[in-house]
Structure 1
Amino acid sequence: MTWTEKGVCLGEGRVFKEKDGSPVAFCARTALIKALDAAKKLGLTFTLGFEIKFVLMKRGEKGEFEPLDNDGHAWSAGRAMDHEAATTVVEKTVLALEDAGVYVGMVHLESARAGTPALEAVDTLLYARNVLSSHATSTGYRMTLHPKPFAMACGTASHVHISVDGDKGNDPAIYEPFYAGILKHLRAICAFTYSSDASYERVADGTWAGGTYVAWGTQNRERPLRKIAGSHWEIKCMDGIANAYLALAVVVTAGARGVREGEAGLRREVPAGMTEDEQAALGIRTRIPRTLGGALEALCTNISRILCQST
């Protein structure tokens, strides 16, 4: 493992290889490297940032894991930092990451900016999760990335912030087709970003889970894709049990395809609080899959369509 000033980077060589030195066909990190290389040929490079969302649990009297007494489950609330878990797990994790050269931008107590080159960002994400999990376990807690650990509470996701780098980055003629490509293939992308049956237990309208419609917004928790500023957008339809390498490889590939094919702009922004009829009037009728099986079916359909277009 090599270390950089910005964080942990495994290096280009850290991929699974066959005995003859050739890359393993289904190495997830290789898939992301190839996707980034293909996008670079279009002049596209990216900066990524991740929201590392997680749930801390304690052992109950019978040995089972249960929620903390004080979870701070509110926008910008600081009361969760009063819990001993804040010092025994969170603060120790932040210090350990800083020692490793990984900068933590914010500890944000929501319902739990992109700043690192794409491949390095995913490497650092996995390293940070491991450090966090280790500190939780060593102090008697349990850290989980499960999207819906408790049936009657909001779940957790793993939101991704993407910025298109360089002078092209903030040109709408570049970033709009990129994100339009992601929206166009979003139902298939969900097979990678929502990769478990448990993922779909979390996703519902009105639960801050990104909503169920294929649409985008700005200050809107009910859309899977959120524009922040220029080419800086947030992908909300990904959770912590997704393979981040594969998920980002697919996202980048879909976006790059949108740029290559000149995808005709984004669908109109859909504000929060609209009824289904009002959304339908704007042409927003497509929903993301409600099950993993539905996502896999959408993926197969999408691949078949692309293959037909290529022949």
Structure 2
Amino acid sequence: MGFSKDKLVKGGGMSKQFEPLAGIVTTDLAAITRGRFIQAYKFDDLKSRGVGWIPSNLSLTAFNRLASRNIWLSSGDLRLIPDEKARFTTSKTGTETTFDMIMGDLTEIDGSPWVACPRFFLKQAISALYQATGLKLKVAFEQEFYVFETGKAPAHSLSFSGLRQLDPFASQLVAALSDANIEPEVVLAELGFGQLEISISPDDPLYAADKAIAVREITRELVRNYGWECSFAPKPLADQAGNGVHIHFSLTDADGRSCSYDENGTAKMSAGMAAFCAGILAHLPAILALTAPSVSSYIRLKPYNWSSSYTWLAEQDREASLRVCPVLKLPGLNVREQLNVEYRACDATANPYLALAMLIYSGLDGITNKLKLPILTDKNPEEMSQSERDHHQLKRLPETLEKALDALKTDPIALGWLPEPLRETFFAVKEYEIERVAHLDQEDIAALYRKLY
């Protein structure tokens, strides 16, 4: 997109002159997107060298304080190099200047990848899967959020009127996302009062994660311009449904043909897809620390909460951590291309790059070691005896962030996927978070994270 140096914008009955700015951004371990802005017309001149960044920024917490244990101290310099293919622009958020966000990679000052860059970590996982198996992933993110202070009365869950009473918000959100080439699929009013869900079309894993971040920031900007508030926090209201980030994935060959479906396979999954899912289940207690990485996450992850609470794969059951989605056998639909699995134990306090990378590494471990799926069941694990759960290899997921971190520390394979500087910084950020909210009850935690996310 080209910009002239000056852009004249008229508003409020008088002419105003603005300088369009482009933000080059990175998303940190607290899932906060931070960055620096440049004059948009200078982007072509600056894109090869990016903007400056410092290592200790990775130690920032969601509370805008550095973690007490900051391995980076005050030294060092990095570059934040923009990826032109991950540039999201729209003029439809209601703001006077164009929303212009470019995802960046953190590099050393010589341009080599920085070992602790979350986006580079995902790139490595994608490459590892392809190099070892010749397989790729297609990924789609579904995200839930609440809007507050709308002045509207609570509407029925999933209702037509629940979405229409916020009109034209949903229409404008879809228009803004489409304008930014994000390809929204469905928007709906969800279970909670004021809760919405937006789903995005499948894409390459890297750009699916980029889009997940852009969706949040475009939504937040649009909501602000309505004079409302919004929150993607896992449990913004203690007595209402939580917000999940559901990650849908399927395996493809190098040419994009589906490798996920087998009519005779377990839950209609191919052997490769079944092994991929078996790997996720095997490492799920450990990787939960990165897919549900906040204290607030564990208020949501409870039995009978339509979230996740066990290492459970099921067909079409929304209590399961991994849900095999239905394959439609309607006229004109290709059955083989449809099959995908939904990972439900994720929320928006997770960095999408880290969460997706850990899923990929887990799945790759399942394929490499030919792991077998447990015996599937359509019975809720909460309604089983312990012997039944043992028979189906169903383990209760960690019930607090502390326990999830412990599970990661005691899974040497999963721990080994994380480069040491990234790993140590992640633990430090999360330790700070646990200490910061230790004195709060669940309602206070919900209120705090509602503002943070």
Q: Which category describes the TM-score, using the shorter chain as reference length?
A: 0.7 to 0.9
Deviations, residues 46-78 of structure 1 (Å, cap 9, x unaligned): 111111211111178xxxxxxx5224424xx21
Match of 2:351 in 1: 243
Change over 3 Å in CA distance of 1:306–1:242 after alignment to 2? closer
Partner secondary structure for residue 410 of structure 2:
helix
Relative to the length of structure 1, the TM-score reads 0.85
Percent of matched pairs sharing the same residue: 27
- Greater relative contact order (Cα < 8 A, sep 6+): 1
Match of 2:163 in 1: 81
Match of 1:93 in 2: 173
Relative to the length of structure 2, the TM-score reads 0.60
**Greater mean deviation of Cα atoms: 111-120 or 293-302:** 111-120
Q: In the alignment, is the contact (CA less than 8 A) between 2:223 and 2:230 conserved in 1?
A: yes
Partner secondary structure for residue 411 of structure 2:
helix
Does residue 291 (structure 1) correspond to residue 400 (structure 2)? The answer is: yes
Q: In the alignment, is the contact (CA less than 8 A) between 2:283 and 2:414 conserved in 1?
A: no
Deviation at 1:217, TM superposition (A): 1.0
Deviations, residues 100-153 of structure 1 (Å, cap 9, x unaligned): 222111112233586211111111111121111100011111111111111111
Match of 2:286 in 1: 188
Equivalent in 231, 235, 239 of residue 148 of structure 1: 235
Q: What amino acid maps onto 1:223 in structure 2?
A: A
Match of 1:65 in 2: none
Q: In the alignment, is the contact (CA less than 8 A) between 1:7 and 1:102 conserved in 2?
A: no
Unaligned runs of 5+ in 2: 1-82, 91-100, 263-269, 328-337, 417-453
Partner secondary structure for residue 47 of structure 1:
strand
Distance, in Å, in 1 between the alignment partners of 2:273 and 2:287 is 18
Computing the radius of gyration over CA atoms, which structure comes out larger, 1 or 2?
2
Across the two proteins, how many residue pairs are aligned to each other?
Answer: 293
Q: What amino acid maps onto 2:185 in structure 1?
A: G
Residues 1-311 of structure 1 correspond to what in structure 2 (within 5 A)?
2-3=84-85, 14-41=104-131, 42-58=133-149, 69-74=153-158, 77-84=159-166, 86-87=167-168, 89-111=169-191, 112=196, 115-166=202-253, 167=257, 168-171=259-262, 172-210=270-308, 212-228=309-325, 229=327, 231-272=339-380, 275-277=383-385, 279-280=388-389, 282-303=391-412
Q: In the alignment, is the contact (CA less than 8 A) between 1:90 and 1:132 conserved in 2?
A: no
Match of 1:63 in 2: none
Q: What amino acid maps onto 2:163 in structure 1?
A: M
Alignment root-mean-square deviation, CA: 2.7
Deviation at 1:272, TM superposition (A): 4.2
Greater than 6 Å deviation, 4+ residue runs? 4-8, 304-307
Partner secondary structure for residue 54 of structure 1:
strand
**Greater mean deviation of Cα atoms: 229-238 or 112-121:** 112-121
Larger strand fraction of residues: 2
Partner secondary structure for residue 252 of structure 1:
helix
Deviation at 1:6, TM superposition (A): 11
**Greater mean deviation of Cα atoms: 277-286 or 139-148:** 277-286
Deviations, residues 7-30 of structure 1 (Å, cap 9, x unaligned): 99x99x931011122211111100
